[in-house]
A and B are shown apart, each in its own frame.
Chain A
Amino acid sequence: MTTAHQHFTGARPLTVLTHAALLTGRLLRALWRMPTFLVIGLVQPVIWLLLFGQLFRSVVGLPGFTHAAGGFLRFLTPGVVMMTALFASAWAGTTYQEDIDRGVMDRMLTSPASRGAMAIATMAYQAIQTLIQSLIIVAIALAAGARFPGGVAGVGVTLLAAVLLTLIFSALSDAVALLTRQQATLIAISQFTTLPLMFLSSAVMDLGLAPGWVGVVAEYNPVEWAVVAAREAMGAHTDWNTVRLHLGLLAAAALVMGWLSTRAFRAYRQQA
């Protein structure tokens, strides 16, 4: 009496989580064997942090720069953490893309693995990469002399905000991969979205020094939400209401995007 199909009768929450854990394990094993992208993904942020941080360190002295306390490196670190999370998660869809190309996707879709579990797995995998990369960036910033009065709680909020940002954009990237099935489209979309999103936020520059319209647009930008939550929590005199509001916005956006990316499987099936 042990044939598999007699065991369960629906996609129970426990089954979905078990499947998600199994599928995440598969992705993490591959990452462990070939951590190339994890490392490559760190090159750019480290350059930003160390080069950009030095080059522009006097901008904090400009009148109108409201977050001058603690120097430019303290200001820049949350921005670089979010930028790294954004760039990495915009590429998340390549995992699906490769699975589609190799037939792994079709095999999974004909198995009892739920679409929810498949979406959770790729998002969890990206989130774990973001955690590792964010911790390394904060460590480098500390080594370069930055100090964060927000302490462990501040770093915790930064990690949480980075993970939520990762969930939003990896879900989006997964949906694009399922809908277009083309690597080229995925590259184009991530190129066209990530840079504007980064510069339409206070990731690298205080919005007090930017034209007014940038500040207006930034209020609707998830990258800005994450940067604000992290910077507020890492700095001195944290306004926890601001932190909670922005984390809440990020969580809501992550839920919506996660749901949409599960729906994208339906479109994938229509085209099959």
Chain B
Amino acid sequence: MGAAHVADPAVEAVDLVKSYPAGRNKPRITALRGLSFAAAKGTVFGLLGPNGAGKSTTVKILSTLSAADSGSARVAGIEAATRPEQVRRVIGFVSQKSGADPMGTATENLLLAGRLHGMSRRDAVARARELLDRFGLADAANRLVQTYSGGMARKLDVALGLMHRPQVLFLDEPTTGLDPHARSEMWAEIARMAGDEQMTVLLTTHYLEEADHLADRLAIVDQGRVVVAGTPEELKSGLRGDAVHIELAQADDRAPAVLRTVPELRDITMDGSTVRGRTDDGARALPPVLAALEEAGMAVTSATLARPSLDDVYLRHTGHSLDADADPKALEVTK
């Protein structure tokens, strides 16, 4: 739903359904319930959602690692279910787990990846050198990967995916587990290579910032479906007006009811001592909001107005916040 028509998409999922056996005498876990999206050539497309939303499953189906129960997955126009060998030639795959052989050096890992894709030794050596330089790994090129830091290993993973100049690169949670410094470095690399390499990137992430920063377009995935898709700007401006965040001194269940009496405010939700709402004009709505709360005897520690964030978009379309990530309802299906 909400997926704009894309002519000649580089990656396309149509009504993907996938369930897994959960064990004996247990109902199957449904990971995907009709997931659809299309990513245009040469763009970075983000799949945003919490763990268990179905992002990894989608990537596994598109990259031929897994088969869907029904629906269609096409990469560069090739059907993944029926012509997996051809899909494998045009994709790079960077999984959540590393993917590099720790008992080999970075150079050995890269050469192997290139040669498996049919590159000559000479081409592979040149390309490996180029990638090692670009990712700042040249000095560590001949060290065993098991001695690498998390950030270095992750860069090598991405380099491995790029080795054969794929048409489509899958990046499954590329910065999970990285410290903030390594993460921002990785973002810079991804943004740069997406521009340089003329390829399509399918990025999955549960970091809003990451999706906002890197994706040209994104689809919000929740419980096995795409709930909304568009550019980050479109999604945010789809929520009219400003977000109002009120922090109460003490959590109080009456707060939403009190705020509903303020006509300027809508979409009121409460999460602990935080109350959120939306308004067309923040400057006009704030005084009556504060007045109403004060009249009801609730002390306010802070009140902020903000342009809508992706988290607001997320909250609006899924009914829960992505930042409150430890959602117990989220199915744990990624392994």
Contact, CB under 8 Å: A106 / B93: yes
Cβ contact within 8 Å between A4 and B117:
yes
B90 at the interface (CB under 8 A from A): yes
Does A11 make an interface contact (CB < 8 A)? yes
Interchain CA distance A53-B147 in the complex, whole Å: 44
Query: Which residues of A sit under 8 angstroms from B123, Cβ to Cβ?
Result: 2
Task: State whether A26 touches B104 (Cβ < 8 A).
Answer: yes
Q: Flag whether A112 is at the interface (Cβ < 8 A).
A: yes
A18 to B119, CA, bound (A): 12
A4-B119, A22-B116, A272-B66 given as contacts; is B89 within 8 A of A107 (CB)?
no
**Contact across chains for B101 and A112 when beta carbons are under 8 A apart:** no
**CB 8 Å contact bits of A78-114 with B (1 = contact, 0 = none):** 0000000000000000000001011110111111110
A103 to chain B, nearest CB (A): 3
- Taking CB atoms, residues of chain A closer than 8 Å to B164 are 3-4
Interface residue stretch chosen among A28-36, A123-131, A221-229, A233-241:
A28-36
Report yes or no: A104 in contact with B101, Cβ–Cβ below 8 A: yes
Known contacts A10-B85, A26-B108; decide if A106 and B95 are in contact (CB<8 Å): yes
Among B57-65, B132-140, B178-186, the stretch in contact with A: B57-65
Q: Please judge, given known A-B contacts A4-B89, A10-B85, A110-B93, whether A102 and B65 are in contact too, CB under 8 Å.
A: no
Which chain A residue lies CB-closest to B170?
A110
Q: Does B282 contact A (CB under 8 A)?
A: no
- Using A4-B164, A29-B103, A30-B101 as known contacts, say yes or no to A112 and B89 having CB atoms under 8 A apart: yes
Inter-chain CA distance A1–B127, complex, in Å, is 16
Q: Bound complex: CA of A99 vs CA of B170, how far in Å?
A: 19
Q: How far is the CA of A11 from the CA of B119 in the complex (A)?
A: 15
List chain B residues, Cβ under 8 A from A272. 60, 65-66
Task: State in angstroms the CA–CA spacing of A15 and B165 once bound together.
Answer: 20
Docked Cα-Cα span, A20 to B237, in Å, equals 53
Q: When the two chains form their complex, are residues B64 and A7 in contact, meaning their CB atoms are under 8 A apart?
A: no
Q: Mark B66-83, 1 if CB is under 8 A from A, else 0.
A: 110000000000000000
Contact partners of A244 in chain B: CB under 8 A = none
With CB as the reference atom, state the residue of chain A lying closest to B64: A110
A270–B69 CA distance with the chains assembled, in angstroms: 10
Q: How far is the CB of B291 from chain A (nearest CB, A)?
A: 56
Any chain A CB within 8 A of the CB of B88?
A: yes
Interchain CA distance A34-B104 in the complex, whole Å: 11
Q: List 22 A-B contacts (CB under 8 A).
A: A3-B164, A4-B117, A4-B119, A4-B165, A5-B86, A10-B85, A22-B112, A22-B115, A23-B112, A26-B108, A26-B112, A30-B103, A34-B103, A106-B65, A106-B95, A109-B65, A110-B64, A111-B93, A112-B88, A112-B89, A113-B116, A269-B66
B residues sitting closer than 8 Å to A (CB atoms) are 20, 60, 63-67, 85-86, 88-91, 93, 95-104, 108, 112-113, 115-119, 123, 144, 160, 164-165, 170
Report which A residues bind B (CB closer than 8 A).
Answer: 2-5, 7-8, 10-11, 15, 18-19, 22-23, 25-26, 29-30, 33-34, 99, 101-104, 106-113, 269-272
